[in-house]
Chains A and B, each alone.
Chain A
């Protein structure tokens, strides 16, 4: 079974600084997608960034970028120029290609200090 592990229950960062959230996953599939979701205190889960396993280039969305190490099965999220609004729970998630079942990690609570 596929598993997703987030080893950092909590992280904190100073406003305008950079923070990296870690995620590892386990799968024997070759076709899959990886995601980072943000869940603010209002609870609505929002997609931050996604990575297709077949793409070697790391995905980037504005201040958010990933470091996708396929051989190591590692998928970290870097947030640059952190803002107060980035404070939230961040979940790493996996889905097998062609499936819509998401497998989530336990999450990392990010605090942004002014």
Chain B
């Protein structure tokens, strides 16, 4: 276990709806990253939050947004859902140890868009 939890485990939405996914990081991890993993693919970086500010974004449109809270929890929000948004969404919290940044992944939320 990595100490990172995500909720819900599974979610089914319809096209055009909005969804919020949640992540709880390990205590002390002040950086959280979100990844999208489509079926049969490797995870793709969505964005990263450091001390509650967005600190880097991948090639994802603005309808993907996030929040990070002081209690080491975070959210991924997706507006105007599209069929291609169906994927496993992973969050990863980070800590720097000896100059190396290690990321700890949660189990993911499986989102299905119908």
Contact = CB atoms under 8 A, between A and B. Distances in A.
Interface of A: 4, 6, 33, 37, 42-47, 50, 52, 91, 93, 95, 99-107
Nearest to B47: A101
A100 B33 CA distance: 8
A101 B58 contact: yes
A26 B42 CA distance: 16
B66 interface: no
B105 A45 contact: yes
Contacts of A50: 100, 102
A29 B67 CA distance: 31
A12 B92 CA distance: 29
Contacts of B58: 101
23 contacts: A6-B42, A33-B100, A42-B107, A43-B88, A44-B105, A44-B106, A44-B107, A45-B43, A91-B43, A93-B42, A100-B31, A100-B33, A100-B101, A101-B56, A102-B33, A102-B35, A102-B43, A102-B45, A102-B92, A103-B45, A106-B42, A107-B40, A107-B41
B45 A46 contact: no
B86 interface: no
B2 interface: yes
B2 A44 contact: yes
Nearest to B56: A101
